[in-house]
């Protein structure tokens, strides 16, 4: 069973959207969710997890000792069962998250995730450096924007990973044709009624000619990617896909 452990000061946020739809149906059957509350590792009576930044400045910084102990506990939860887990820290300065990244993890037979979610103005750099150096933790970003915390980005990463687990998707081949699977955006989709608001479904999709349909879909994916995402298009061309 694929295991996900989230280290956060707001465990009540989870599973959130992950508890619904196909991911929700698989929860407890194909994947498990563990939640580690960082506040449980605070050593004072007020369960304090943050302090003012050294050198001054706005906001508060999460304490290295508390975060370290919470991460260590999360790793212990995995160590008895898991051989290959990814330890991630959701951070706006991290490596951009991508479908290619997800595919590489599962190619390496990753069987679990430990995800650290920061809050406030950030986490003490010393504990980040320690976990990167000693446990291979990766800093991951879901985009060039700033949120209140790492919980929502963590859900995005978890959602993308769950789609790779055999049995989660009713149609396993659908993950092979979605956007970013081969550095292309997905082709446009249509369903019944065949005519709506004066617009018709493209005739080729109703032809029953699967070869023509596949060629049309590829052409649509290529033209859409070239128009909307030049970065993906250039990578697609370089890879000779």
Q: What percentage of the chain reaches a pLDDT higher than 70?
A: 93
pLDDT for res 172: 59
What CATH number is given to the structural domain containing 129?
3.40.1280.10
Residue 195 in any domain: the answer is: yes
Same domain, 156 and 222: no
- pTM, to two decimals: 0.87
Domain count along the chain: 2
pLDDT tens, position by position, 78-128: 766 656 889 999 999 999 999 999 999 998 889 999 999 999 999 999 999
Residue 35 in any domain: the answer is: yes
Where does a domain end: 162, 193, 217?
162
Same domain, 212 and 124: no
Residue 170 in any domain: the answer is: no
Q: List CB contacts of 193: < 8 A, sequence separation 6 or more.
A: none
List beta partners, residue 139: 89
**Which structural domain, as residue segments, surrounds residue 28?**
2-162
pLDDT tens, position by position, 209-239: 999 999 999 999 999 999 999 998 998 898 8
pLDDT tens, position by position, 54-71: 998 889 999 999 999 999
Helices (H), 178-229: 210-228
| Residue 63: C-alpha distances to residues 53, 60, 86, 98, 214 (Å) | 10, 9, 23, 30, 54
What CATH number is given to the structural domain containing 218?
1.10.1270.20
Which has the closest alpha carbon to 89: 37, 147, 12, 153? 153
Band of pLDDT at residue 240, cut at 50, 70 and 90: confident
Same domain, 125 and 184: no
CA 63, 66, 72, 77: dihedral to nearest 10 degrees? -130
CA 219, 162, 103, 167: dihedral to nearest 10 degrees? -80
Same domain, 192 and 155: no
Span 31-54, average pLDDT: 95
Same domain, 156 and 188: no
pLDDT for res 235: 87
Same domain, 113 and 215: no
pLDDT for res 181: 59
Residue 78 in any domain: the answer is: yes
Band of pLDDT at residue 142, cut at 50, 70 and 90: very high
Q: What are phi and psi of 210, to 5 degrees?
A: -65, -30
pLDDT for res 108: 86
List beta partners, residue 77: none
Spatial distance between the Cα atoms of 61 and 236, rounded to a whole number of angstroms: 41
């Amino acid at each position: 069973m694929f295991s996900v452990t989230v280290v956060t000061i707001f465990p009540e946020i989870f599973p959130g959207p992950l508890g619904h739809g196909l991911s929700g149906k698989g929860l407890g059957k194909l994947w498990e969710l563990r939640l580690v509350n960082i506040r449980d590792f605070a050593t004072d009576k007020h369960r304090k997890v943050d302090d003012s930044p050294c050198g001054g400045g706005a906001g508060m910084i999460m304490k290295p000792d508390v975060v370290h102990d919470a991460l260590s506990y999360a790793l212990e939860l995995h160590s008895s069962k898991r051989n290959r887990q990814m330890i991630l820290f959701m951070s706006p300065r991290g490596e951009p998250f991508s479908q290619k990244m997800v595919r590489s993890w599962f190619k390496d037979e990753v069987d679990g995730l430990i995800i650290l979610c920061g809050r406030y103005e950030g986490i003490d750099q010393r504990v980040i450096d320690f976990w990167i150096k000693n446990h291979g933790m990766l800093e991951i970003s879901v985009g060039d924007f700033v949120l209140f915390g790492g919980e929502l980005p963590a859900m995005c990463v978890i959602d993308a990973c769950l789609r790779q687990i055999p049995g989660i998707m009713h149609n396993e081949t659908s993950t092979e044709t979605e956007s970013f699977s081969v550095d292309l955006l997905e082709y446009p989709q249509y369903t019944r009624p065949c005519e709506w608001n004066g617009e018709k479904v493209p005739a080729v999709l109703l032809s029953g000619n699967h070869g023509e349909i596949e060629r049309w879909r590829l052409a649509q994916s290529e033209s859409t990617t070239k128009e909307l995402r030049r970065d993906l298009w250039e990578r697609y061309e370089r890879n000779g896909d």
